Chains A and B, each alone.
Chain A
């Protein structure tokens, strides 16, 4: 597994994957729709898939002493690291903003506990659709991205909307009570992300096995 990750980041990943991971820091921007940050967590892997196609990464990987399935595993691990990395990079800023009550977000959702849970759900939906569609052919990355980014953007708009709907405003809160109340959202987000990644892997591998390179 570590060898695959090493290969992904040494040879296959496009530099934007790392740059976009650090765009998690964008939650420092005052009054900004923070789900835009999530777009970069999807764009980074997408750029790397295009780059991998350009560099014949699939051919190189499939000829290494690994299973054909490991081609999918490598890309999925790379994506998980990029997305979780992005959220972890942003976390200290979110904590700082909450503790200091610094510049409350008037545009959309705060970078609070619920934001992280809902972000994971957004990423999970994107990954499931993107990976499973891409590995039908192992080259139609643009089409897979388009199919995946539309529903995940709808989810992102819904996440931003919670701050404007009275019934869901507790999801936008940063008070101690609100943050505790949001904890189940984070837990559900983690569970959905983990379950979706397992499902994504299973479906993608089944499809990729039948792809003729």
Chain B
């Protein structure tokens, strides 16, 4: 079943246009949204979440139109916005006390379990957490309100290789039982090699390709030079697609 459907999302800025973005995410799937900086990844995610006002387009979460059922849809979503920290000087316990009140399905037992699992101390302030721990705290919150869809905007940016690997392993575990899905944007293609099932590639505000990972990789093999025998990996696909020539 499709947990997320994005249909014809368009948004015009003076310098940039998001044009007719459409893709969908199945239950139990991890989808990587890739593209270079400024390609429209964050705009797409923010438009899905009603943080950006799109000119056109429809978002369906679990079959329901997001803008019409905003509250119900948000009950099922967990979000991590890379580089945006909330209430840096507040303790995690304070933030949790407020947050839990907004969710019907909040599970305190699960919250304690995930806080212990992720080795998070509730008495710590947000600014005392490492970048990886901040992501994990928001994931703990999402899991405690039984979020089915996790939308993560560049969650691995700025993390050291160990923290990144740890987080990617966690993503894989989260979708294992098939009840949750993850959509995460990244420009670090090795993240996708490790955990994504499907990939959506966005270039200059338009979807270049959205497909299962294997199909995606085989589609772009036309970029191979005649003398190359090995398949191009995601990084090479992205570099060759985006490569510019300068005539200085």
Q: Which residues of A contact B (CB under 8 A)?
A: 3, 6-7, 10-11, 55-57, 59-60, 62-68, 209-213
Contacts and interface: CB of A to CB of B under 8 A. Distances in A.
Contacts of B101: 3, 6-7
A66 B99 CA distance: 11
Nearest to A212: B52
Given A57-B86, A212-B51, 4 more contacts: A55-B86, A63-B49, A64-B99, A68-B70
A211 B77 CA distance: 22
Contacts, number: 69
A213 B79 CA distance: 15
B87 A3 contact: no
29 contacts: A3-B101, A6-B101, A10-B94, A10-B97, A10-B98, A11-B87, A11-B94, A11-B98, A55-B88, A56-B84, A56-B85, A56-B87, A57-B86, A60-B87, A63-B79, A64-B74, A64-B99, A64-B102, A65-B72, A66-B71, A67-B70, A67-B71, A68-B50, A68-B51, A209-B53, A210-B53, A211-B53, A212-B52, A213-B51
A3 B53 CA distance: 25
Contacts of A57: 86-87
The 3 closest A-B pairs by CB, nearest first: A65-B74, A60-B86, A213-B51
A53 B74 CA distance: 22
Interface of B: 46, 49-53, 70-72, 74-75, 77, 79, 81, 84-90, 94-95, 97-99, 101-103
A65 B103 contact: yes
Given A10-B94, A10-B98, A59 B86 contact: yes
Nearest to B97: A10
Nearest to A68: B50
Contacts of B75: 65
A63 B94 contact: no
B107 to A, nearest CB: 15
